[in-house]
Structure 1
Amino acid sequence: MDKQAVGARSSRILGRLWERRVPEQPEAGGEEAEMAGEALAVVDQVEEESEEAGPSTSQGGLRRKMDSGGPPTEESPRKRSRGTSSSVYERLFLMGEGSDVQIRALGEVWNLHKVYLCQSGYFASMFSGAWREATMNTIDLQMPDENIDREALHEALSSLYQSSVLIPPRRVVSILATASMLQLDELIQECGEVMKDTVSVHTVCSYYHSAESYGLPNIKTVCFQWLLDNLMTYHNEELLLRQLSPDIMKELIASSELLVMDVEMDVYSMLKKWMYLQLQPAWNGSRRALLPHANLWLARSKRESGGTPFLETQEGGVFVPVFQHLRLAYIICDLPSARIIDQDALIPPAWLTPVYKDQWLALVRAEQSKGVGPTDVHVPNCPRNSMRCGHHLPREMRCSWRWAGFNFGWDLVVCYANQRIIFKRSAKNKSHGLGVSLLWQRKVAFRLCVVSLDTTGRATFRKGTEYQVLSLGRDEELEIMNLENQDVAFPIYVACNFLYVPREGRTPE
């Protein structure tokens, strides 16, 4: 970078300083102008020496990449260009030549320049107006945030001087916290880009909380979507479940975007494992042993409490808001699942009794009402009440499946063949009991989504439908999604939301 570019950049800094000058205190503006002139003289001297010495080397950046599911490496920290030579960074920041202010914090001392520090909103406010620090040569900074450490503060301050900033993923939260305190908007934005690119099982929870704390709603959304996609699909579920707080888990379980594998009962089983790990953080065992150990622990708790449902005990109270978002109506429709719920004595009977009543009445209406159902469905009600279910396809192949628990006259078969997903109503097999109705037509509101995830859990493909009403007669089929000419990588996850549409008409007397 040449001297002319440095001069232009410094002029912009001076312009900002003059704009911040308080009108009632003209002497403050004079001091700032004098201070800026001295600093620019040092910059000119450094640049002239740099030109005589020839081109200088700047800090090199390594590529940032992710392992397959492993922690983010430091091979590619984010590099941010600013347009300042390495000589300015080395002579002014590292060596402190021409310093007019000393910053002390976290046991470290930096000899710096107000004209550069004023690029920070924090220091710009401090050095202008009637603040005591405006006339001080030594400033002691207090760190209000435990995420800020000496290394992060050094990197944040250096960003005001050097031509590039390296942001390793393992350091991004600390640098973000420091940039937020110092009001370094550009550095905050770069931290967000690093976080967006490196979301994984090792970083997602810390990124989520940091994005919430430091005002990065887009990063919070990215992290939450990653959790929705991976909560029930990630191969190392124990690692993920240990990190999730009750507050995050409550939001995930409440969402109809949750990628459920296979049916709602599997959400209940996952929550048992999560709750066990929250209560027994020292547990160490295999993935297959986790649910049996959780069941044994619940059985022992049931005996010790005299049969009191665990969620009604003092220890279980913290988990109540999470389990309240289970969609119990789609669990008790399956007999084996209903028996497990009863055996665990985890859910209070007061939660289950109204659900059983509502489901029984809905079933009776489905079998005895006349008509085929309303033509319009209020879609906003679908996400909150819909049945969530999904299926995993490891490779391209012809297959079909059913989801247990979705009854009321449907024997709905889902088929995948030739890159097409087809819904088919089959009434040939009468052995499914309530799963098959002899009535000629049923209606259901549904939404379907196909997702492909890479080894770090990031979605590489996503295609979905809006909520729509499906009406099928016996043995009728309908193509729901065509994936031809789509960039789909297996394995894929097929996720559905269903909502039974009650039939119109009076119940026969």
Structure 2
Amino acid sequence: MGSLGSSCQSPPEGPEEAGEGTSACHKQNCEFKKRKRNAQCDCERDDDDEEDDDDDALLDTPRRQKLKSTSKYIYQTLFLNGENSDICICALGEKWNLHKVYLCQSGYFSSMFSGSWKESNMVEINLEIPDQNIDTEALQVVFGSLYRDDVLIKPSRVINILAAASMLQLDGLIQQCGETMKENISAKTVCRYYASAGIYGLNSIMKKSLEWLLSNLMTHQNVDLMKEIGVEVMEKLIQSSDLFVMQVEMDVYSTLKKWMFLQLNPSWDGPIKQLLADAEAWLCKRRTDLCERNPFLNTDEGVPFRSVFKCLRLQYILNDLASARVLERDNILPSDWLTEMYKNQWITMLRTECENDNGPQESNKQEFELNSMRCGRKLSKDGDYCWRWTGFNFGFDQLVTYTNRFIVFKRNTLSQPFGGAVSLQPQRHLAYRLRLASFDSNGKLVCSRTTGYQLLSLEKDQECVVMNLDSRLLSFPLYVCCNFLYTSPPSDNRPDSSE
């Protein structure tokens, strides 16, 4: 028993001592929890302060909020309903109850109301509308634009709205009309847009329309478009070095035959593939009926078209025997035009042979723009292509190859499958420009590349890569258009060989 008792632990301290130990631990725990709560509170206070600062910053930052309901209310109440109107505008048999404060956005009305004009104190004004393009629907849109922030302009109505905006001197609306026209140029709109842009001073639209025509006249031939193109515009197209020519210059001549036929026979209706045959049949019948040997451009019917045909680069038509025979047979061009060109070609050939003219060696962009050969091809799909534009090019047989996204020029002197004369001079020079383009269904450029104006020297059978294409920028069909100049321009300073 004694040993069992000795194994027991000592009895606990007295009640007072035990209470003191428990109280100390409790105090420590309470102080720790209190410090923790205080730290949490401090953090929460810091976060709250930061949030308060952020809220203050947000409150101090101005926000632009468009009140669409206000704009709609103004348009509906003041314009459409005419409430509180202080002036009535009468035009084309219609009346608009409007407000001077809004009309003064127009330069036309601002001058009217601020000057000594009698209309400045009138409550009803009759507007004279001298422009036939302006109608009541266009005036409704233009007057309404003074009461709202944005205007929807239909491409089919843009010319009428442009006319009204130009009369009332609304620069912002004129600019918006220009943007609408720029985005909607097509075969159906390009001629009307070009003419209207000329009337209302939108030079950028005239330029865009002309660029569209230069790209599409021959790449996407269209009967209705040819009927619409006037003499002045066609003259600008044919004389331009930027015309996208498909095949060769002879095809430009064929295009003009079709265009002239449609101008004289606007009721003709048929497929584009039949147009050239019908045009040639009409010319033949006319010559037979009238026993006419007088060139067509010298007749009363033909005189209006002389300036256009004069822009043809005949030297690149007469360098091919079959094409020269067609010109003689058609009897469209005056004989003195052909005689002069035959002479020029003969002199150029003699100069090339006798004076060893081996092509342009100095930059002469003016000569290039006026006299370079225009030719082109359509690549329907990706693949390997090689072509030459045949004809007597003064001994310069040039091969153009498209393969693996490279375009290569080669001066060919070895193989002569076409039987043409080839120059054996050690070096030949040429000036060139290469352009590639693809178009969407409306004839708008999807992608384009150009080398710009370049000079190149090639030894016999030498090849040169002139363009490396990024496949991501290409889409097919792809149109390739080239300009070449193989001879240097005549110089009046050359010594006379007889001396």
The normalised TM-score by structure 2 is 0.83
1:152 matched to 2:135? The reply is: no
Match of 1:260 in 2: 245
Match of 1:250 in 2: 235
Distance, in Å, in 2 between the alignment partners of 1:420 and 1:406 is 27
Aligned partner of 2:483 among 489, 494, 497: 497
Counterpart of 2:260, as a letter, is M
Secondary structure of the residue aligned to 2:131 is coil
Distance, in Å, in 2 between the alignment partners of 1:374 and 1:184 is 52
Aligned partner of 1:113 among 95, 99, 107: 99
1:390 matched to 2:387? The reply is: no
**Structure 1 residue 259: deviation in Å?**
0.2
Secondary structure of the residue aligned to 1:422 is strand
Q: 1:202 to 1:373 in 2, by over 3 A?
A: closer
Q: 1:190 to 1:502 in 2, by over 3 A?
A: closer
User: Are the counterparts in 2 of residues 388 and 495 from structure 1 also a CA contact under 8 Å?
Assistant: yes
Q: 1:374 to 1:208 in 2, by over 3 A?
A: closer
User: Are the counterparts in 2 of residues 149 and 174 from structure 1 also a CA contact under 8 Å?
Assistant: yes
Aligned partner of 2:186 among 177, 188, 200: 200
Name which of structure 1's ranges 386-395 and 303-312 shifts more when overlaid on structure 2.
303-312
Distance, in Å, in 2 between the alignment partners of 1:416 and 1:307 is 46
Counterpart of 2:237, as a letter, is L
Secondary structure of the residue aligned to 2:399 is strand
Aligned partner of 1:440 among 418, 426, 431: 426
**Structure 1 residue 462: deviation in Å?**
1.4
Name which of structure 1's ranges 472-481 and 130-139 shifts more when overlaid on structure 2.
472-481
Q: 1:380 to 1:159 in 2, by over 3 A?
A: same
Counterpart of 2:274, as a letter, is A
**Structure 1 residue 179: deviation in Å?**
0.2
Name which of structure 1's ranges 391-400 and 373-382 shifts more when overlaid on structure 2.
373-382
Counterpart of 1:223, as a letter, is S
Aligned partner of 1:339 among 325, 329, 332: 325
User: Are the counterparts in 2 of residues 175 and 191 from structure 1 also a CA contact under 8 Å?
Assistant: yes
Q: 1:177 to 1:374 in 2, by over 3 A?
A: closer
Match of 2:110 in 1: 124
Match of 1:290 in 2: 275
Counterpart of 2:351, as a letter, is R
1:133 matched to 2:133? The reply is: no
Match of 1:423 in 2: 409
User: Are the counterparts in 2 of residues 368 and 508 from structure 1 also a CA contact under 8 Å?
Assistant: no
1:181 matched to 2:152? The reply is: no
User: Are the counterparts in 1 of residues 145 and 151 from structure 2 also a CA contact under 8 Å?
Assistant: yes
1:227 matched to 2:213? The reply is: yes
Distance, in Å, in 2 between the alignment partners of 1:143 and 1:398 is 60
Distance, in Å, in 2 between the alignment partners of 1:374 and 1:265 is 24
User: Are the counterparts in 1 of residues 435 and 450 from structure 2 also a CA contact under 8 Å?
Assistant: yes
User: Are the counterparts in 2 of residues 409 and 439 from structure 1 also a CA contact under 8 Å?
Assistant: no
**Structure 1 residue 206: deviation in Å?**
0.7
Aligned partner of 1:162 among 148, 166, 171: 148
Match of 2:461 in 1: 475
Q: 1:333 to 1:424 in 2, by over 3 A?
A: same
Instruction: Report the number of matched residues.
Output: 429
**Structure 1 residue 438: deviation in Å?**
2.9
Counterpart of 2:110, as a letter, is A
User: Are the counterparts in 1 of residues 392 and 420 from structure 2 also a CA contact under 8 Å?
Assistant: no
Counterpart of 1:271, as a letter, is L
| Deviations 1:307-349 (CA, angstroms, capped at 9, x unpaired) | 1100000010110111110110110000110000000000010
Specify every segment of 5 or more residues in structure 2 that has no aligned partner in the other structure, as ranges. Answer: 1-65
**Structure 1 residue 87: deviation in Å?**
0.7
Secondary structure of the residue aligned to 1:421 is strand
**Structure 1 residue 508: deviation in Å?**
8.1
**Structure 1 residue 465: deviation in Å?**
1.6
**Structure 1 residue 482: deviation in Å?**
0.7
Aligned partner of 1:301 among 283, 286, 293: 286
Distance, in Å, in 2 between the alignment partners of 1:120 and 1:133 is 15
Distance, in Å, in 1 between the alignment partners of 2:297 and 2:359 is 38
Q: 1:173 to 1:321 in 2, by over 3 A?
A: same
1:91 matched to 2:81? The reply is: no
Counterpart of 1:119, as a letter, is Q
Q: 1:306 to 1:116 in 2, by over 3 A?
A: same
Counterpart of 1:186, as a letter, is G
CA RMSD of superposed structures (Å): 2.0
**Structure 1 residue 373: deviation in Å?**
4.8
Q: How does 1:349-364 map to 2 (within 5 A)?
A: 349-364=335-350
**Structure 1 residue 436: deviation in Å?**
1.9
Secondary structure of the residue aligned to 2:368 is helix
Match of 1:104 in 2: 90
User: Are the counterparts in 1 of residues 412 and 461 from structure 2 also a CA contact under 8 Å?
Assistant: yes
Distance, in Å, in 1 between the alignment partners of 2:162 and 2:84 is 29
Specify every segment of 5 or more residues in structure 1 that has no aligned partner in the other structure, as ranges. Answer: 1-54, 59-83
**Structure 1 residue 283: deviation in Å?**
0.8
Bigger Cα Rg: 2
| Percent identity over paired residues | 50
**Structure 1 residue 455: deviation in Å?**
1.1
Identify the structure with bigger relative contact order (alpha carbons < 8 Å, sequence gap 6+).
Answer: 1
1:272 matched to 2:239? The reply is: no
The normalised TM-score by structure 1 is 0.81
**Structure 1 residue 422: deviation in Å?**
0.4
| Deviations 1:362-404 (CA, angstroms, capped at 9, x unpaired) | 1122233336456313222210111111111111110100112
